[in-house]
Amino acid sequence: MRLVLKRTLVGAMILFFILVAGLNNWDVLYGRYVAHSFFSNLTAGSLEAAAKNMYFDEEDGTDNWERSGAGTAWIKRVQDLREQGVHAVSYKNLRVQNDDSSPVGRVTLTIEEQGEPRDYQVVFFFKGSLADFGIARFQQIDELDGNPEWQEALSGAY
């Protein structure tokens, strides 16, 4: 009887610590889900679905999706870029982790530019609460040639 009680207590403590760790890192866990959904939809050309994983930042000139049409504007920017021969074709090495208590992601994003695929190392940042959490902006980290047009088009701010 004591052994069963002891095992139950140990099991409950382990479950408690797993729940605490999960709740403490909800933004990283949810960020992985959001990022995977975003990049999968973006590379498949499902821009409306990808836009639902963006956070449109009022500080940078946009409101949320419903009030301002920011999502529609984002879709148009990405479509315009595609018409110019620039679009995302694949992604790999997706990671999301905490950096100073904020979720930050990294990914290798393959962008096709005028028919030539090119890999970019990209850092992306999240904003929002659980109700409106999404990717707010992107920053390539391996090139020093400023902000390429695709980087600005993909970001949730203009």
pTM here? 0.78
Q: Domain limits of the chain?
A: 2-154
Distance CA 114, CA 85 (A): 5
How far, in Å, CA of 135 to CA of 105, rounded? Answer: 9
**Dist CA 134 CA 38 (whole Å):** 9
pLDDT tens-digit map of 45-56: 999 999 999 988
Tell me the per-residue pLDDT of 37-87, one tens digit each, with 9 for 90 and over: 999 999 999 999 999 999 886 654 445 555 567 888 889 999 999 999 999
H/E element holding 113?
A: strand 102-113
CATH 3.40.50.2000 fits 2-154, yes or no: no
